[in-house]
Structures are given as structure tokens and as C-alpha cells.
Amino acid sequence: MDASIDAITNNIQLALAPVFLLTAVATLLNAISTRLARSVDRMRSIQKLIHSDPNLTDAVRAQMRIEANEAKTRGRLCTAAIFFDVLSGLFISLTVLELFFFQAGAVKSMQTAYVIWTFVLGLVSFMTSLAFVLAEVVFAYRSAGWDSPHH
């Protein structure tokens, strides 16, 4: 095989390796979006019940308000996770572009530090998103209302 073909193949592999991380970013984004949608739907249904059912006792109504607030907190955690996941995707995409242009020789003055920083920032953002997802899952479990009064 020609050396130039080997070099081109190597350059493409190097530039596309972070793309696999983008798959993880997209998968996590899908999962978080689903959790956010469920929290919002739950909060809306609770609010509707609170305001439309005159037969609720004060204790049940108070418990439902607590649950609605917990759903709101879960939504905020999901929103923060989405923010950092999207930020991660942007940094990883920027890394792919930098690697591609750098390896293709299209940009002669590109510093290696740019590639390192965007990749590291992408990973840190992804890890931050994962931390928010973990916090939301733990919060969801702890606020599941195992001992709440039935309505």
C-alpha cells in the first residue's frame, strides 16, 4: 500500500476517533430528555389534580405539592445535565474538526493545545452531565414517595 494512502487512512482514523464519543453524548441526551419529559408530565398532572379535584384532603394536597416541587427539582437537574451534555458534544465536534483540519494540513498554524483543550473540556462536560444524571436518579429514588398517603 502506498505511504500516502497509509497516511491518509491514519489521518482519517485519528480525526474520527472522537466521533464515537459523540454517539455516547447523543445516547445520554436521549435518555435525559426522556427523564425530563416524564418529570414535566408528572408535575403538570399533579398541578392539574391539585387545582381540579375538590375531594382531596389537605394532607394529600400538601403531599402532592411536595411531589410537584420534587418533579420541578428533577427537571432542573435534567436541564443542567442536558446543558453539559450538549456542551460536551460541541467541544467533541470542535475536536474532530480541529483534528481533521490539522491532519489534512489545511491549517498550518494550529497548535496542539487547541485539540487537547477542546477534547479535555468535552470530557469534563460529559462527566459533569453524568454527575447531574446521577444526582437526578438518586433524587428521583429518594423522593419516590414510598410513605406518602394514598389519594
Average pLDDT of the chain is 85
Asked whether 82 and 33 are in contact (CB, 8 A), the reply is yes
Predicted TM-score (pTM) of the model is: 0.80
Q: Would you call 149 helix, strand, or coil by DSSP?
A: coil
**Cell triple for 113:** 493545545
Taking CA atoms, 136 is separated from 41, 97, 133, 139, in Å, by 16, 33, 5, 5
pLDDT of residue 1: 46
Q: Would you call 18 helix, strand, or coil by DSSP?
A: coil
pLDDT-derived band at 151 (thresholds 50, 70, 90) equals very low
